[in-house]
Amino acid sequence: MKDRSVTDYFSRDEFNRLVDSTYRYQQKGREAADDPVGKRLRALLLLMRWSGLAIRDAVTLERERLNESDELLLYRAKTGMPVFVKLPPEVAKTLREVPPGPKPNPRYFFWSGNGERKSAVADWQRSFRKLFHMADLKKPDGTKKRCFPHMLRDTFAIELLPKDVPIDQVALLLGHQSVKTTEKHYAPFVKARQEQLIASVQKAWE
């Protein structure tokens, strides 16, 4: 089992390769361009990357949580205040236009609403494993990169931290109960941001 205390993520090039691979994704007997599973997987991939949702929450996401302003309701905080994340317009468009699944349910983007949620998640995890195999991502040393859907959530967080987004806001978006949880999971990137801030202050001395 992967040690979740060690955060890994997808670089921009790696993520683009994953997106490209969804266009080649196909089921037996179907052409890739006409395969709704590839289109649905691409929408789920984009959703998880740009919302930070874990796979269970993404797979069972209700359509009403995406408003007309392309803002996605992540959850309601303990204070009762809603926490939204703004999706890029093209991501929101892809999500709204996602093809229906084998057993469509107008309430959800990716789930039929039937059966157990964990079964639906397991189905999508298998699709992700196939996608990761197709993308064939490599580490800098040339060895195969082990990929997991949760890395999309990590990518979301890691893209925010170096861009001066306060860590308490990142923690809020991720639904962490404490900022300490965020600091623990993303310690190297928190440190990198601190070093960036120090360098900026030193530059201001000049």
Residue in 67, 60, 27, 66 with CA at minimum distance from that of residue 44? 60
Helix (H, G, I), strand (E, B) or coil at 206: coil
Q: What angle do CA 30, 121, 87 make, to 5 degrees?
A: 85
For the ranges 81-90, 176-185, 186-195, which has the lowest average pLDDT?
A: 186-195
The answer to whether 50 and 91 are in contact (CB under 8 A) is yes
As a whole number of angstroms, the distance between CA 116 and CA 32 comes to 29
Question: In this structure, what is the dihedral angle of CA atoms 145, 148, 150, 154, given to the nearest 10 degrees?
Answer: 10
CATH number at residue 130: 1.10.443
Q: Is the confidence at residue 1, as pLDDT, over 60?
A: no
Residue 152 host element (H or E): helix 150-160
Q: Is the confidence at residue 3, as pLDDT, over 80?
A: no
pTM of the model as a whole = 0.85
| DSSP assigned state of 84 | E
For position 195, what pLDDT does the model report? Answer: 64
What residues make up the domain containing 39? Answer: 12-147
Total domains in the fold of the chain: 1
For position 198, what pLDDT does the model report? Answer: 65
Within a domain: 177: no
For position 204, what pLDDT does the model report? Answer: 75
As a whole number of angstroms, the distance between CA 98 and CA 41 comes to 9
Within a domain: 115: yes
Token look-up 């266009």 returns 23
As a whole number of angstroms, the distance between CA 46 and CA 88 comes to 10
Within a domain: 80: yes
For position 143, what pLDDT does the model report? Answer: 94
Within a domain: 204: no
* Beta bridge pairs of residue 83: 75
Q: What angle do CA 15, 108, 30 make, to 5 degrees?
A: 60
Q: Is the confidence at residue 154, as pLDDT, over 80?
A: yes
Residue in 45, 48, 40 with CA at minimum distance from that of residue 104? 40
As a whole number of angstroms, the distance between CA 140 and CA 142 comes to 5
Q: Which two tokens stand for residue 76?
A: 């309601």
For position 79, what pLDDT does the model report? Answer: 72
As a whole number of angstroms, the distance between CA 177 and CA 175 comes to 6
pLDDT tens digits, residue range 21-35? 999 987 555 555 566
Within a domain: 135: yes
Mean pLDDT of 64-82: 91
What is the percent of the chain with per-residue pLDDT over 70, rounded to a whole number? 86
Within a domain: 129: yes
Q: Label residue 4 by pLDDT band (50, 70, 90).
A: very low
Within a domain: 182: no
Q: Is the confidence at residue 2, as pLDDT, over 60?
A: no
Q: Label residue 118 by pLDDT band (50, 70, 90).
A: very high
Within a domain: 166: no
Q: What is the mean pLDDT of the chain?
A: 87
For the ranges 80-94, 120-134, 174-188, which has the lowest average pLDDT?
A: 174-188
